[in-house]
Amino acid sequence: MAKPGILEINSVKDQVSAEEWEARVNLAAAYRLVAHFGWDDLIYTHISARIPNTDHHFLINPLGLMFDEITASSLIKVDLNGNVLMDTPYIPNAAGFVIHSAIHEARDDANCVLHLHTDYGVAVSNQKEGLKLLCQSSIPAWANVAYHDYEGFAVNDGEKERLVADMGEKNALILRNHGTLTVGDSVAKAFELMYFLEKACKIQILTESTGQELYSMSEDALNNALRDLLVVAGANGADNFTWPALLRKMDRLDPSFRD
């Protein structure tokens, strides 16, 4: 039985490939996790995931559902032009297509694009210096971040080229006066990088709020940390360890994301 306000969707699992269903489950879990961590913004912002073995088709949330209502079946399948590719009682949110379609089209490694408007992320996006290197938790995001200037609500296709150019080969993006974004070749990697980006932004705002003089790490310490980052995390640590643990957490809290 669907929750109040959520329409029944019949047999989506039976209509898609096993690879697409896995992508749906992982993406639905990411939406629920964003809500769990308090990173959602009512029904706004988006997380998208490319469907394997398709021509850049991807999944995105329907307009009108809170993130803690998203299920594998309720996600909408679209192409790069925003055309809906599968019958659904829902409609997509057009504001998500400019950012997500641009990155999915330009970056073959961007199988997941995660975009947020968190308080701490927006606060850092408003600061001229952007993300600062203040602590160990800041390093994964700081080493991967690029910046894109605000151009208004992201509904203009003309912004795509500039956004992609600004991001380059980085996996994290701070959208000035707007929010944060991460990508990964899996939902797991995009989510883990966002976790550290959000943590870095929060630590920055909290640290600066003390008004105390800051203590900076040495250049040698930074170089050691950058060198050892993959050793500590492992190249596929997010996929092999962090994400399975997060899925177990969501299964304990509410397994309906798998529906």
Q: Residue 43: which of 92, 98, 89, 10 has the closest Cα?
A: 92
206's CB contacts (< 8 A; 6+ apart) are none
pLDDT at position 209 is 96
Per-residue pLDDT of the chain (259 residues; tens, 9 = 90+): 345 445 555 579 989 999 999 999 999 999 999 999 999 999 999 999 999 999 889 999 999 999 999 999 999 999 998 889 998 888 887 776 789 999 999 999 999 999 999 999 999 999 999 999 999 999 999 999 999 999 888 667 778 899 999 999 999 999 999 999 999 999 999 999 999 999 999 999 999 999 999 998 899 988 888 888 767 666 677 888 999 999 999 999 999 999 9
pTM for this entry: 0.92
Cα–Cα dist 29/35, whole Å: 10
- How far apart CA 158 and CA 163 sit, in angstroms, is 9
Cα(242)–Cα(177) distance, integer angstroms: 30
Phi/psi at 46 (5° precision): -150, 155
C-alpha 194/C-alpha 198 separation (Å) is 6
Give the C-alpha separation, 125 to 255, whole Å. 34
